[in-house]
Amino acid sequence: MTRPMKQAGSARSGDAQVDVELTVNGEAIRRSVSVRMLLSDFLRHELGLTGTHVGCEHGVCGCCTVLIDGKPGRSCLTLAVQANGYSIRTIESVAAADGTLHPVQQAFKECHGLQCGYCTPGMVMNVLGRFEEEGPLDLSDDGIRELLSGNLCRCTGYLNIVAAVRRAAELLGRS
């Protein structure tokens, strides 16, 4: 198969910048960003929202999970430019302004669903997104483990995290 010759000038040496407008935790944000900046780095480095953690940076660990237009997604597998026009929610928006924990956070605290806490922001955002999704929620052990299957924890062994999700469902009247 013949392909057209690569045009002179298509080789890129500079880091292209693009203007993006998005909403982060309810606040309208305008920035000029490098097109290769990941959303996770944008949140942490540009906006100082370091609650979104970065683990593997290839979509496996789930630490960087945020809500992208209300749905849990990997901020390390999303470019900041792809989020142009979107609404992003991070862990910083979850507790009330006076510090009162959200029921999902409260449940993780009550059930000791964390030790070092590194994976917890991603866990909370994933669980929150699934609780806010329409449709039935499978709160059997298998269902909760399926819900959590995209988030790795290297401390707790998951028993308390599963308990925390069930407790969160009780607190939110979803059980």
Chain residues that interact with other proteins, rule: CB under 8 A: 1, 3-4, 6-7, 10-16, 18, 34-38, 41, 57-59, 62, 65, 68, 71-74, 76-79, 81-82, 84, 126, 129-130, 135, 146-147, 149-150
Collect all residues with Cβ–Cβ distance below 8 Å to 39 and sequence separation of at least 6.
66, 68, 75, 76, 78, 79, 80, 82, 83, 88
Closer residue to other proteins in complex, CB, 19/112? 19
Closer residue to other proteins in complex, CB, 133/170? 133
- In whole angstroms, the minimum distance from the beta carbon of 116 to other proteins comes to 21
- In whole angstroms, the minimum distance from the beta carbon of 161 to other proteins comes to 15
- In whole angstroms, the minimum distance from the beta carbon of 173 to other proteins comes to 22
Closer residue to other proteins in complex, CB, 3/30? 3
- In whole angstroms, the minimum distance from the beta carbon of 102 to other proteins comes to 18
Closer residue to other proteins in complex, CB, 85/117? 85
